Amino acid sequence: MTLDDEQINAFSVICDALSDDDDRLKREVLSHAGNRWSTGVIYTLGTKGTLRHAELARALPGVTQRMLTRTLRQLERDGLITRHDHQLKTPHPRVDYTLTGLGKEMLLAMLPLWNWIISNSTAFRASREAHE
């Protein structure tokens, strides 16, 4: 497979945009797409709606409380989720997390990549077996 001139141009524009003054910001936001817990949180909030910390933890088997808190803070910082503190201190504090418009856009943008990975999983496995 070779790329045509239009595709090469499109990739050049993207690569040029990734190497300007906002390089670090763009790469950090892009890293959410490849992070297991970030994609898990985005997917879970996108499919289940607003959830509390404990509900998210139950939906993401294997995530530690520390990792989930860190992931939520990073996603909130980048505008992909919002955190709503209900200011209830007794008997239990209540904080909810919701996917933002940006988060929904990211989820939808990731669907083609996930479909591609799933539809090519057999080829990936065969390649790994041949490599070993």
23-33 pLDDT, tens digit each: 777 778 888 88
Contact call for residues 47 and 111 (beta carbons, < 8 A)? no
Residue with tokens 């990073």: 74
pLDDT of residue 19: 65
Q: Quote the CA–CA distance of 90 and 48 in Å, as a whole number.
A: 26
The DSSP line for 38-60 is HHHHHHHHHHH-SEEHHHHHHHS
Q: Quote the CA–CA distance of 125 and 34 in Å, as a whole number.
A: 19
* Residue 20, pLDDT above cutoff 90: no
Confidence band for 89, pLDDT divided at 50, 70 and 90: low
Q: Which of 85-89, 101-105, 113-117 has the lowest mean pLDDT?
A: 85-89
- Across all residues in the chain, what is the average pLDDT? 89
44-74 pLDDT, tens digit each: 999 999 999 999 999 999 999 999 999 999 9
Q: Average the pLDDT over 113-129 and give the result.
A: 94
pLDDT of residue 96: 95
